[in-house]
Amino acid sequence: MGVTLVRTLGEKVKGRECGACSVCCSALLVEFPKYEKPAGERCKHQLEGGGCGFYKKRPEDCSYFQCIWLTLEQMPNYTRPDICGVMFRYDLDDETWNPFAKSCVVAVPSASQDALFSDAAKACYRMFWGGGKAVWVQIEGRRRFLIDENGTEILADRIAEYEGKLR
């Protein structure tokens, strides 16, 4: 199973644009209206320096997707995914038994996983957990594990502590 693209609700923050960023174009699965590429692989249409060389005819998956940075004013400009090294996206799963996965945030490192431990990334984790959203990490195209406000994996013995943080 690949990564579900979930459109971030809401309008773009005024004046906020993708600019030189094209992290989502590498990080995410593009499969609608037809399969184009797997998650975690650079798209053949990505331009050097950002942007899409196929923009006018880009797949619906691409035109619908917005990362959280684009629509959430509380995320500072320096947390743009290509700058801070982590892209945040929403994920929804109404059918899962797992309360951490029903409506969550997924942190996707754009290159090195070291970026997951930067101060900028940790500030984002604190903000999301504070708002009642569990934070996961996506590695190699898949949502893999939960992390706490410091980017540390939440193991089974700490799950109860974090369940209390979900609304």
Interacting residue ranges for ligand SF4, rule: CB under 6 A: 18, 21-25, 30, 43, 45-46, 52, 54, 58-59, 62, 66-67, 69-70, 80-81, 87
Closer residue to ligand SF4, CB minimum distance, 68 or 147: 68
Residues with Cβ within 8 Å of residue 63, at least 6 apart in sequence: none
Dist CA 163 CA 57 (whole Å): 43
For residue 135, give the nearest of 124, 78, 5, 82 by alpha carbon: 124
Dist CA 10 CA 18 (whole Å): 16
Are 143 and 31 contacting, i.e. CB atoms less than 8 angstroms apart?
Answer: no
CB of 120 to ligand SF4, least distance (A): 14
Closer residue to ligand SF4, CB minimum distance, 54 or 100: 54
Determine the 3-state secondary structure of 163 from DSSP.
helix
Scanning the structure block, which residue is given the tokens 């990080």? Answer: 27
Closer residue to ligand SF4, CB minimum distance, 127 or 162: 127
CB of 19 to ligand SF4, least distance (A): 7
Query: Where is 128: in which H helix or E strand?
Result: helix 119-130
Closer residue to ligand SF4, CB minimum distance, 21 or 105: 21
CB of 154 to ligand SF4, least distance (A): 25
Closer residue to ligand SF4, CB minimum distance, 43 or 162: 43
CB of 67 to ligand SF4, least distance (A): 3
Determine the 3-state secondary structure of 156 from DSSP.
helix
CB of 84 to ligand SF4, least distance (A): 11
**Cα-flanking dihedrals φ and ψ of residue 13, to 5°?**
-60, 135
